[in-house]
Amino acid sequence: MAAFNRERVEHALNELLARVVPDDPQEDEEIANQRFEDAFDFAIDALTTAGEPSVVPDINHVASLIDRRISRDANGAQKSTRFHNLLSRLISQPVLEQKWRMLHFLNQLSDLPSATEQAHHHQTRAPTTPTRHNPSGAPAADSPAFRDAFSRPGLSKIPVNDGSPRASPRPVTQGEKSDKRKERRTQDAGKEQTGEAAPAGFSKAAMEPSEPSLLRDLPFTLQGLSSTNLTFPSSTALKLPSTLPVPLISLLHTLAEPSLLYRGLSEFVESTEGGLVGQSFRSALGKELRSYLGLVATLEGQIRRALAQLDETQPRGGIGKAGVTLKRCVIWTREATMGLRLMSLMVEESKGKKGGELISLIHSFSLSHGDPYVGAFAERLLAHVTRPFYDMLRQWIYDGELADPFGEFFVSEQREDEISEANGKEGKGGATSVWEDKYKLNERMIPTIITEEFANKVFLIGKTLNFIRYGCGDAAWVDTYSKEASKELQYGDTANLEQSIGDAYKTTMARLIDLMANKFKLFEHLQALKKYLLLGAGDFIAILMESLSQTLDRPANTQYRHTLTAQLEHAVRNSNAQFDSPDVLRRLDSRMLELSHGEIGWDVFTLEYKIDAPVDVIVTPFGSKQYLKVFNFLWRVKRVEFALGSTWRRCMTGARGVLGTVSDKVGVDWKKARCAVAEMIHFVTQLQYYILFEVIESSWNELQDALHKPESTLDDLIQAHAKYLTSITRKGLLGSQSTDFTGQLHELLKTMLAYKDAVDGLYSFSVAEFTRRQEQAAKIETRTAAGRWGLSEKDNLGSDSPDPFAPIRRLRTDPDSPFPPPLIQLGTAGSGEDDVLPALRKRLATLIVDFRAKVNVLLGDLIHQPDHDMRWLAMVMNFNDVYQPVRRRRKMDKKRDKETPQPSTAK
């Protein structure tokens, strides 16, 4: 046996023999003690010489042997289940080290015979005790008393020593027997306490300081204060006397833990660092420490009463009878030590955390810890720690104000420089910046006592109230709402909190939507944007374009703002736009884009609809640019339609008059031109129909459904409008990641305008030819009436004049001329008819071929788009298969073809 185990073995063996070795009331005390000592020495010798068991120490093997033995008995299955349960509990005990020896010992005990078998085989199986110093009156080893003592059921009756000469015929009473056993137990207990207080190697003189002295200093030590015997050299160390025995050192080590923990916690509580939640955490810890000090005060009172009752005549001053020992102090402070240990762990892990992070840390102890004491302790702390958090929450959801000086709430207010840095150089400005950038949701600070969905709803409520107060200028309603709806919020009242948040959410969202719809006329502004910038008001756009057509044909640097504004007012007064509200008409304006060299008025003119706060939170500055982009594209398409329509009307009108007289010369050209113009008008009409109806109208209907959805929030309106803008810009401008449809359309529009100019040149040529023929017919008629020849040789030579536009030049200065001026300068001095008409024909043929080639490429790209609306547009434009769509090869395909080596041909 090891040295440190010998005391425990001797103590356990002493207890066992005190209960097993029979007592004879009539036996002499010295003989009984000697017999007990002999039995004790015999048992010690047997244990010392036993050695290690020959069996391999395998706990599973021993357990299987015991289980096999149990299973053979009646109710074996039930007993086996119970055995396995007890075995698992034994294995899980970390204190017990010799688990295999225990099971082996129990298995060996089960091999002993029963009481009935032992009665038949007592001669070979009964253990014997040493017989040295055995007087004649001592019982023999084979006496019935010894057999009964070592039998399995134990001692059945008190043996009587009949052979003793001092045997009294008087039977021993039960009271005397009980007194003797009590006296023996008292002596054993005294030995045990003496062994604890003064183990081997330490004398009574070495017990300095004494246990009463240590108890007297203990209350000061538990409060983190140095005393005579126990001093604190630093805040993290306690110096113990070097003269104390190991058991007392062990007890003082245990008592030093709460002392050092309290000392560190008290320093943390007295510090002033951290925010509101951090100070609340310190306050909660201080309250727990005051409860700990109450326990120390109670313990101090017990120690003082116990020290007052000490008797110096008793061993160790009678400290054991006083009721207060160091071991009992350890037991009394065990729960408090656990609380201090838990608080110290929280303090250690809370470093660098604040606000919601600190609350989440404490809440994690109540969620993920299985100890009920830890969970209850964390819940008790949370009730105090969360008070500043709920105060900030209440002010945020009822007043829309953020009272967070230390940045502990999960909503943070951004500084101006942060907003500018996030938005870049352009910036959002207006209500958009207030709504989107003023406050941000800090997900890292969201405590685990609320869900992320709950936090988003809280964030939206406070942001809405703040926007109503500052963005919409309705602070009076916010103040009234705060007074009527404000409630006290606290931890643990989940039902009341959820109801408060739900009511606040509905009320604030309904108020904000009502303000945007009725006070700030959001829906009217969206309707006006659709009518004027998306060309929804057809009569207004037609009158505006007709009135501006002559002005916009001039160079861009000759355009003036007041002229454009006057034409805009004229279009408003002569269309249904005059019935719109004055606020809408006041926001409608015309302006010029940035001028570039060579541009005309058509290229720089644009309409503008001014949006101010707080409506600009939905129609953002970026959204206004998107509207402007769509308007410019639609305006170009509308201009081409207007130009082609004007040319078509002139052609149809002239076909019955001027053009009919020259059909012999340019009739075929005009037939081709009318077919080409009709083809272009069909293309432009289908493109406009697709953009205005298939894209804008369908997206507008979706926007209306989203805006009038019940319980919609301002964020929902912003998202719905952003989706609407994305749809009309992506689909309306034929946006695609792989193909530049906008560039293709612009080239097609330029080609159509160039063809229109060429047709106007052909018309001017036809008019010039008609004028020449009219003048020649009038000259013939005049000469014939005068009796001369209608045509002379000079006239025949003049008929071959190289300048068929000479009459036009002469008539150009005549204001009363019935012929319109030529639109382009065709033919100059020295150029003949043979040069002008072929050039026009070549120009018209080249443009129509170029137009059809570009349409084929456009249709080929549209057919292969994933969007079904774009594929539908390609089908409508080519409904009779007059075009042959060709898909343009991409740059990557061309590059891949170049990199692919060509196979060489054999010569």
pLDDT at 243 over 70: yes
Tokens 């150009």 -> residue: 812
C-alpha dist (Å) from residue 548 to 542, 559, 597? 10, 11, 21
Tens of pLDDT, residues 148-200? 544 444 444 444 444 433 333 444 444 444 444 444 444 444 444 444 444 43
The pLDDT value given to residue 194: 41
Q: Where are the alpha helices (DSSP H) in 271-355?
A: 276-308, 319-322, 326-332, 334-349
Per-residue pLDDT, averaged over 109-122, amounts to 56
By residue count, the chain amounts to 907
Q: How confident is the model at residue 802 (pLDDT cuts 50, 70, 90)?
A: very low
pLDDT at 715 over 50: yes
CB atoms within 10 A of CB 734: 25
What distance in Å separates the CA atoms of residue 782 and residue 32, rounded to the nearest whole number?
Answer: 178
Tally of CA atoms within 13 A in the half-sphere of 531 that contains its CB: 19
Mean pLDDT for the chain?
79
C-alpha dist (Å) from residue 699 to 339, 536, 626, 721? 64, 13, 15, 10
Tokens 């456009």 -> residue: 858
The pLDDT value given to residue 431: 55
830 or 681, which is more confident? Answer: 681
The pLDDT value given to residue 900: 52
Return the closest-CA partner of residue 48 out of 37, 40, 38, 36: 40
pLDDT at 898 over 80: no
pLDDT at 46 over 50: yes
Lowest mean pLDDT segment, chosen from 340-349, 634-643, 777-786: 777-786
pLDDT at 682 over 70: yes
On the question of a cis peptide bond just before residue 807, with omega within 30 degrees of 0, the verdict is no
The pLDDT value given to residue 20: 77
Contact indicator for 617, 432 with CB cutoff of 8 Å: yes
Residue 510 C-alpha from the chain's centroid: 27
Q: If you average pLDDT over each of 413-422, 544-553, 799-808, which comes out highest?
A: 544-553
Per-residue pLDDT, averaged over 785-798, amounts to 68
Tens of pLDDT, residues 617-634? 899 888 899 999 999 999
281 or 82, which is more confident? Answer: 281
Return the closest-CA partner of residue 410 out of 460, 446, 435: 446
What distance in Å separates the CA atoms of residue 602 and residue 640, rounded to the nearest whole number?
Answer: 11
The tokens describing 625, both together, are 């640019």
Contact indicator for 175, 150 with CB cutoff of 8 Å: no
Tens of pLDDT, residues 694-705? 889 999 999 999
Contact indicator for 497, 491 with CB cutoff of 8 Å: no
Per-residue pLDDT, averaged over 248-268, amounts to 91
pLDDT at 298 over 60: yes
pLDDT at 358 over 60: yes
pLDDT at 125 over 70: no
756 or 835, which is more confident? Answer: 756
How large a percentage of the chain has pLDDT more than 90?
26
pLDDT at 132 over 60: no
> What are the two backbone dihedrals, phi and then psi, of residue 441, each rounded to the nearest 5 degrees?
-90, 115
Q: How confident is the model at residue 433 (pLDDT cuts 50, 70, 90)?
A: low
pLDDT at 143 over 70: no
Q: How confident is the model at residue 870 (pLDDT cuts 50, 70, 90)?
A: confident
Q: How confident is the model at residue 863 (pLDDT cuts 50, 70, 90)?
A: confident
Q: How confident is the model at residue 591 (pLDDT cuts 50, 70, 90)?
A: confident
Per-residue pLDDT, averaged over 49-69, amounts to 80
C-alpha dist (Å) from residue 588 to 541, 611, 621? 13, 10, 16
The pLDDT value given to residue 893: 52
Tens of pLDDT, residues 199-213? 434 444 446 788 888
On the question of a cis peptide bond just before residue 209, with omega within 30 degrees of 0, the verdict is yes
140 or 719, which is more confident? Answer: 719
Tens of pLDDT, residues 723-744? 999 988 888 777 666 677 888 8
Per-residue pLDDT, averaged over 278-288, amounts to 92
775 or 53, which is more confident? Answer: 775
pLDDT at 112 over 80: no
The pLDDT value given to residue 10: 80
pLDDT at 124 over 70: no
The pLDDT value given to residue 752: 92
What distance in Å separates the CA atoms of residue 215 and residue 296, rounded to the nearest whole number?
Answer: 12
Tokens 């053979």 -> residue: 72
749 or 77, which is more confident? Answer: 749
What distance in Å separates the CA atoms of residue 655 and residue 441, rounded to the nearest whole number?
Answer: 71
The pLDDT value given to residue 345: 92
The pLDDT value given to residue 784: 85
pLDDT at 830 over 80: no
Contact indicator for 506, 711 with CB cutoff of 8 Å: yes
The pLDDT value given to residue 36: 83
Return the closest-CA partner of residue 504 out of 542, 462, 467: 462
The pLDDT value given to residue 59: 83
Per-residue pLDDT, averaged over 340-367, amounts to 90
The tokens describing 604, both together, are 């720089």
Q: How confident is the model at residue 827 (pLDDT cuts 50, 70, 90)?
A: very low
Per-residue pLDDT, averaged over 790-797, amounts to 64
251 or 197, which is more confident? Answer: 251
Tally of CA atoms within 13 A in the half-sphere of 156 that contains its CB: 8
Write out 842-878 in H/E/C secondary structure.
Answer: HHHHHHHHHHHHHHHHHHHHHHCCCCHHHHHHHHHHC
The pLDDT value given to residue 847: 93
